[in-house]
Chain A
Amino acid sequence: AQKVTQAQTEISVVEKEDVTLDCVYETRDTTYYLFWYKQPPSGELVFLIRRNSFDEQNEISGRYSWNFQKSTSSFNFTITASQVVDSAVYFCALTPFSGNTPLVFGKGTRLSVIA
């Protein structure tokens, strides 16, 4: 069985602070994909990143960075110099490394960035 845990239900930060969203996963598959999605107040799901289990390199995209550590089954997401527009619910998700499989989502972390 697969499971994704986002222990932080809600986080509140002041604008320009850095914030890290934690994601811990469980899977028996040796190969799998991990994802982060953003859900702004408007409700749509916005894809942020996909990482396969072969690639443990950290990734940076602008103010966003991701730290994948297979040893601790974690895939954490850091926003640097947070902005009010970053306020959203962020979901971590997991799926096996095969053609068409559903995503298993964590419960999400609600991030509020205060001006």
Chain B
Amino acid sequence: DSGVTQTPKHLITATGQRVTLRCSPRSGDLSVYWYQQSLDQGLQFLIHYYNGEERAKGNILERFSAQQFPDLHSELNLSSLELGDSALYFCASSVAPSGGYYNEQFFGPGTRLTVL
């Protein structure tokens, strides 16, 4: 158990709908990352938040947005869903930056989204 929790575990919805995925980082971790694993794109980075602020964006669609709340949990909002958005969405957390040393990313169990 990595200490990172994600809810829900599974989500089935229809095209055009909007969903929210939730991530609670490990206690004390200020950074949250979102990754998407799809059949055609593989595992790719979406967005990174640190202590409530957006730090980096990857291949995140404009229909997708995220935020990190004062209690450090994060939500990934996916709207106008398309069939191609079906994927496994992972959240990872790590501690604060420490002057050049790598901070381990701990992955949650993922949320499997199916768009019908």
Contact = CB atoms under 8 A, between A and B. Distances in A.
A102 B58 contact: yes
Per DSSP, are chain B's interface residues mostly helix, strand or loop, or mixed? strand
A52 B45 contact: no
Given A43-B109, A44-B109, A95-B102, A100 B45 contact: no
Given A33-B102, A50-B102, A43 B45 contact: no
Nearest to B56: A102
A101 B92 CA distance: 12
B103 A105 contact: no
The number of chain B residues touching the other chain, given as a range, is 20 to 34
A44 B48 contact: no
Contact of B45 (A45, A103, A107, A108): A103
Interface string A28-48: 000001000000000111010
A73 to B, nearest CB: 19
25 contacts: A43-B88, A43-B109, A43-B112, A44-B109, A44-B110, A45-B90, A45-B107, A50-B102, A52-B102, A91-B43, A98-B100, A98-B102, A99-B101, A99-B102, A99-B103, A100-B31, A100-B48, A100-B50, A100-B55, A100-B94, A102-B35, A102-B58, A105-B42, A106-B42, A107-B42
